[in-house]
Amino acid sequence: MKKLTFTKLLIAAGILTLSGPTAVLAEDIKVTTKEYQFKEPVKTSTVQTTASISTKKQALETIKGKSRESSQSLNDTEFWIYDSWVTVQNDYDYDGYYTTLNVEFDADTVFSQVPVYAVIYLGKNEVFDSIHVTSVFNIYGDDSNDAFIIESDLVSGFPPYDYEILIELYDADHDVLVAASDGYWDADLAYVSLESENYDVVEETVVVVEEHGGALFIPALLGLFGVALYRRKQ
């Protein structure tokens, strides 16, 4: 039993090394997420996950530096990402870069029902950092109502930039990459203006009001007193 567990760990590690020597621990990246499907919050216990999936998910969540090549070479005709939509929110410093990212995608398959999970990345200069590994969820043929939504608050690790989004879809039964989409395939995933909350800093404006008095105030007061006295005499 220990041999089997160790083998699974080696397989997961081997998959991750495909991303190349640029992969490093992304300790500075922090993202909080919420998931929705069928307009309802996703419950992680809805679909059972396997040990290999859990191992790979934990590893992917701490690895950065994935290249685009592995997703571009994908050639699977049984799964595809039909379309995706991106919306952004929260720009408190009004610099045009947002801290909340909503990614919605509709994944389809030739099968009637398949459990899958997705990995969401943000890319800069052809290098992608994973920001979220979803719960396992079901897709149903080419049903457009089973679209999956990930709402992400970027807490730290992302300076202001027009990022590219990469979506990878994995078959949860076999833990295999089966579909992917990025800015090359879908314009909605390209040039998304984002920054993490630690860069969205509102600078306080301090207004200084200076009051002048002293020597200039006394002649003015005497002048007004003289005018009043003159008018009284008149």
Among residues 108, 118, 123, 143, which one has the least CA distance to residue 189?
123
Residue 147, domain CATH? 2.60.40.10
Domain count, the chain: 1
Q: Is residue 169 part of a domain?
A: yes
Rounded CA gap, 8 and 97, in Å?
40
Residue 137 token pair: 């969820």
CB 65 within 8 A of CB 23: yes
Q: Is residue 146 part of a domain?
A: yes
pTM: 0.71
Q: Is residue 75 part of a domain?
A: yes
Q: Is residue 206 part of a domain?
A: no
Q: Is residue 72 part of a domain?
A: yes
Q: Is residue 120 part of a domain?
A: yes
Q: Is residue 231 part of a domain?
A: no
Host domain of residue 83:
2-194
Q: For position 42, what pLDDT does the model report? A: 87
Q: Which residues of the chain have pLDDT under 50?
A: 1-26, 45-55, 59, 62
CB 38 within 8 A of CB 157: no
Q: Is residue 17 part of a domain?
A: yes
